[in-house]
Amino acid sequence: MKLNVTNETNRLKAVVLGTAKSNGGKPDLQDAYDPKSAYHIKAGTYPKEEDMVKEMEEVARIFNSYGVEVYRPSIIENYNQIFSRDIGFVIDDIFVKANILPDREKEINAIQAVIDQIDSSKILHLPEECHVEGGDVMPHGEYLLIGTYRGEDYSDFITARTNVKAVEALQKAFPNKKVKSFNLRKSNTEPKENALHLDCCFQPVGDKYAIIHKNGFLEENEYLWLVDLFGADNVFEIDKQEMYDMTSNIFSISPKVVISDVYFKRLNTWLRGKGITVEEVNYREIAKQEGLLRCSTLPLIRE
């Protein structure tokens, strides 16, 4: 398999879509990885497996209708394998194995059949001290955009998933890229004050547009850098509630086609006004785990 991902929107040819089958049910509160999941555990509204399976199969159906080759993880019994973006990501023709939370290490083994199709020289293993998840990493042409958390209290936040050492290692691994990192707002307890990954508060869409939430960024100059990169007229600003709802976490099949949640009425109207086809799905149950469409997909090949 010859990998190719240079941005977030080029025509998708192959992707790993996670699975909600044998999801393991509601975790104990102390095992929650993010504040939104914790909220739904406490509220008794944590999503049911059958509902999440239904939501993900609708995404698979849309991919199939656009001729996208879809890979799925092998099933690990009673284990959450929804968010395939966390476990690895592609930059140009290199597959980067993510160093994720220790409790989730089995997930990468479940896509070994995919990894076995990749030339071993095109697989990058980062040093153990580099923490990184795919939701924080966005190839964007000559740029590599990376969400991180630079605070000295990094280790206090289970929601801090990509550290500065990983940013430095990726710059070294991809010297031809202009690496730009963004210091994200983190909270272990308040989901509306937590940008779990960069794609929870920002994402390019179409051929020149972007979705962004200002409060997800701790440093205003970094937020403004992104606005300047795309142009203020091309940016769709989302508020705190919309970030909580995961409005920036849609997924592009091409510059002209996106998959979005039917719940995102304001965004979907804006996208259609820009000439972008919006394939709507209901992803409300999966959203309860602080992840959405980009989080559950791992693109392997884009044109």
* pLDDT tens-digit map of 52-69: 999 999 999 999 999 999
Facing residues of 36 across strands? none
Residue 44 has pLDDT above 80, yes or no: yes
Q: Per-residue pLDDT averaged across 129-157, rounded?
A: 96
Q: Per-residue pLDDT averaged across 125-144, rounded?
A: 96
> What are the tens digits of pLDDT across the range 206-259?
999 999 999 999 999 999 999 999 999 999 999 999 999 999 999 999 999 999
Residue 99 has pLDDT above 90, yes or no: no
Measured between alpha carbons, how far is residue 135 from residues 5, 97, 228, 292 in Å?
A: 14, 13, 22, 11
Q: What is the pTM of this model?
A: 0.94
Buried b / exposed e over 54-84, threshold 16 CB at 10 Å, is ebbebbeebbeeeebebbbbeebeebbbbbb
* C-alpha neighbours within 13 Å on the C-beta side of residue 193: 6
Q: Would you state the pLDDT for residue 7?
A: 98
137-140 vs 123-125, strand pairing mode: unpaired
Please tell me the distance from the alpha carbon of residue 267 to that of residue 276, in angstroms, as a whole number.
Answer: 11
Q: What angle do CA 267, 272, 274 make, to 5 degrees?
A: 100
Q: Which two tokens stand for residue 81?
A: 């394998």
DSSP letter, residue 19: B
**12-200+290-302 belongs to which homologous superfamily?**
L-arginine/glycine Amidinotransferase; Chain A (3.75.10.10)
Q: Would you state the pLDDT for residue 281?
A: 98
Residue 155 has pLDDT above 80, yes or no: yes
Residue 41 has pLDDT above 80, yes or no: yes
Q: Would you state the pLDDT for residue 157?
A: 95
Q: Where is pLDDT greater, at 27 or 245?
A: 245
Q: Where is pLDDT greater, at 35 or 70?
A: 70
Q: Would you state the pLDDT for residue 35?
A: 81
Q: Would you state the pLDDT for residue 31?
A: 78
